[in-house]
Structure 1
Amino acid sequence: MKSKIAYILFFGLIISKGNAQPKAVEYKDGNQVLSGLSIVPAKQLNDKPGVLILPAWMGIKDHEKEVAYKLAELGYQSFIADIYGVDQRPTNYSEAGQKAGYYKKNIKEYQTRIQLALDQLVKHGANPDEIVVIGYCFGGSGAVEAARTNMKVKGIVSFHGGLGRDEARTIDSIAPKVLVLHGADDPYESKEEIEKFQNEMRTAKTDWQMVYYANAVHSFTHKDAGNDNSKGAAYNEKADKRSWEAMRNFLKEVL
């Protein structure tokens, strides 16, 4: 009973929006309880393609839910991953930075949480052969990791995500197609790190694309990020709309 109440408090009223049928889903990583959100459109595309959504550092928020509903309108089933756990969610940016930083340093644990969420997407009806992973900020870093570890997905999309990689890691061939959507003025990704990422993609013989958006900094798809670029993170309506269309075209191509 307490678990169900927690779902309601966390996700708000779980009601249908448009043609989507949302459902809170509890799953586990060992003893850690995780709680994601599955959204199945009333009218799915023929092959029942699925999209795994990896949230930004604050976890599942309105932004991720809005993305899931918009995907449902296009006929895509989705699952929003819970990376932290029901009793581990950050309450402020400081906590979010610490928790996201932990998973970036302990990358195998992050990869495990992504795979568990991917399993849930398939368990709830998505075609295991028709899946794309998308992520925002911290989640964008996770999407890139899904490609690096060759998870069983056709492609990944990173929105203003981190691109860094421990140079001690070997570079293996990457099968999923990669689309990186990046703010041209994002201060959190150095030119050196971007160059290393691009060289990694070449070495891995990846089918990859990287699109830059003018006057856009970090978090350009997040409406709650404000509009002051000098802070390093800000919403950019034009970049938001253009990156969404780029993702739509990518989904049509790979799925």
Structure 2
Amino acid sequence: MPRVLASILLLLAMNLTAQDLRPVAYADGPQKLNGLVTDDRGTKRPGVLILPAWMGIDDEARTAARELAGEGYIAFIADIYGEGHIPTDFTSARQAATHYKTDFAAYQRRIALALEELKKTGADPDRIAVIGYCFGGTGALEAARALLPVKGVVSIHGGLGKGDRPNGPINTSVLIQHPEADPTVSAADLAGITAELNAAKADWQLISYAHCGHTFTNPAGKEYNKRMADRAWQHLLVFLRDVLG
């Protein structure tokens, strides 16, 4: 009996260790960045880069990373804003996010830097996807527009617009998880992203979740819809299995 108990405790400890998040310090020139990565021991595995919502690295991103680790992926949560620039309230978050939504090149650069850090942790460079929530969902589409070397991107209740930039090539698979009752996304935005992806002849899919507000996947948000959030997660996993193998 003691031997069985010891084995159970060992397995539990191994499982917890596999789901730990380790801090990773990196930089964009003089700006310090602080990401998080799941346990990276063992052979190369497919990787998922997580772009958090507009408040920066939050519980939704951490939970996603741990659950993806349980599915066999190495997950890296990007720090887009950098040390000393993390928003403390919605007003500062709106200002910070707006900066990157208008300076697309800066946003794409921060995503590319995080992607390189994910590769350094042991992720297979030929099997990487990007997912993002809200502001991060906008970033997932920017990763596709920047032609970053990833197999797929998932925009989860993200902004869909690209300003006045012309349509360009997109060479990765795209999944858009759109809450049907999201007031931040207009009919013109939906028509625009559809036209953009079709013009690029991209492999894309848009799933609209009925009766859902903007933050429907976030348990801490007032618009959380567990049923639809659970469905969206399963749709995401199907997509990742398809594009990453």
Query: Normalising by the residue count of structure 1, what TM-score does the alignment of the two structures yield?
Result: 0.87
Matched, 1:35 2:34: yes
In the alignment, structure 2 segments of 5+ residues that lack a partner are 1-13
Residues in 2 aligned to 1:202 and 1:115: alpha-carbon distance in whole angstroms? 25
Cα RMSD after superposing both structures? 1.6
Correspondence 1:121-136 to 2 at 5 A: 121-136=118-133
For 1:117, give the aligned amino acid: A
In the alignment, structure 1 segments of 5+ residues that lack a partner are 1-14, 227-233
| 2:7 aligned residue | none
- Post-superposition Cα deviations, 1:76-104, rounded to whole Å, max 9, x if no partner, equal 00100000011100000110000000110
Q: Percent identity?
A: 46
- Post-superposition Cα deviations, 1:88-136, rounded to whole Å, max 9, x if no partner, equal 0000011000000011011100000000000000011101100000000
Could you tell me whether the CA contact under 8 Å between 2:87 and 2:93 is conserved in 1?
A: yes
After TM superposition, give the deviation of residue 40 of structure 1 in Å: 2.5
Could you tell me whether the CA contact under 8 Å between 2:49 and 2:75 is conserved in 1?
A: yes
Correspondence 1:104-115 to 2 at 5 A: 104-115=101-112
| 1:221 aligned residue | 217
| 2:159 aligned residue | 162
Q: 2:53 aligns with which of 34, 53, 56?
A: 56
Residues in 1 aligned to 2:122 and 2:47: alpha-carbon distance in whole angstroms? 8
Could you tell me whether the CA contact under 8 Å between 2:130 and 2:152 is conserved in 1?
A: yes
- Post-superposition Cα deviations, 1:131-150, rounded to whole Å, max 9, x if no partner, equal 00000000000000001111
For 1:110, give the aligned amino acid: Y
Q: 1:211 aligns with which of 185, 207, 211?
A: 207
Could you tell me whether the CA contact under 8 Å between 1:53 and 1:78 is conserved in 2?
A: yes
Residues in 1 aligned to 2:152 and 2:99: alpha-carbon distance in whole angstroms? 25
| Count of aligned residue pairs for this structure pair | 231
Q: 1:236 aligns with which of 206, 217, 225?
A: 225
Higher Cα radius of gyration: 2
Large movers: runs of 4+ above 3 Å: 15-18
CA spacing shift, 1:21–1:223, aligned 2, 3 Å: closer
For 2:229, give the aligned amino acid: D
